[in-house]
Amino acid sequence: MRISRLYVDASLSEGATLRLDEDSGHYLRSVLRLKKGFQLTVFNGDGQEYEARVEIASREGVWLAIGARRFRETESPLFTHLGLGISRGERMDFALQKAVELGVSRITPLLTEHCVVRLDEGKKGHRLQHWQRIIRSACEQSGRNRLPILDEPLKLEDWLEQPTGSRLLLDPQGTASLASLTPPEDRVTLLSGPEGGFADRERDWARQAGFIPVRLGPRILRTETAVLAALAAAQTLWGDWDVQRG
């Protein structure tokens, strides 16, 4: 039987008793249907995880008994920073979820010329909370004990000078391939557009900021597919999918 994993926004220590917040308690009791005595794993994003046991599961709340601490490293040696043009609804959610599963280290949502999503201050906060929940859920599912960094949305032109390491623009018009590039030392930034792609001037800005246009094969990929393909290729070539690293 698979042991459920749960992210908790709280300090954890062996031997402690933890009362879950309302949302986590509802999820554990009503969705997972875990009852008194059930075993699970909890983590808070600091890289460690703990055995836990349900002590009380009632309408008044859910309490966990925290057990032994475990350190299990699941992070890639390759730091991947994804600059992602904001797409609509499920496409953005899917891209974020799979990026986390593929080991992304940091995500910056980007406002671009062809973005169909417009965020005022109220919507920005709501979207960030929604995206953070997706990231936490993906970490629970995939076994990661560290949460990727999620930045506040930025305009593309304000972000371009910030990334460090190898800078790669995912561009169907690019001529280079990932395999033809000099391997990065330990850090790579991937820039991927929204469903409408980048405007010509945005491509120019990216190139001027040192981004190398790379092409992911001869076919045009949807934005969410391009993210998956690029991260998987990067992990294969330079990260923890490299079988030659052992």
Q: Is the pLDDT of residue 1 over 60?
A: no
* Domain parsing of the chain, residue ranges: 4-71, 79-245
What is the C-alpha to C-alpha distance for residues 192 and 226, in angstroms, rounded to an integer? 7
* R_g over Cα of the chain: 20
**CATH topology for 4-71?**
Ribosomal Protein L25; Chain P (2.40.240)
Give me the pLDDT at residue 246, please. Answer: 44
Percent of the chain with pLDDT over 70: 94
Q: Please, how many CA atoms are within 13 Å of residue 180, restricted to the half-sphere of its CB?
A: 11
Residues 13-72 pLDDT 10s: 999 999 998 888 888 888 878 788 899 999 999 999 999 999 988 888 899 999 999 988
> For the whole prediction, is pTM greater than 0.85?
yes
* DSSP states of 195-215: TT---HHHHHHHHHTTPEEE-
The first and second tokens of residue 131, run together, are 């995206």
Determine contact, residues 74/145, Cβ cutoff 8 Å.
yes
Q: CATH assignment of 79-245?
A: 3.40.1280.10
Residues 171-189 pLDDT 10s: 988 889 998 999 888 899 9
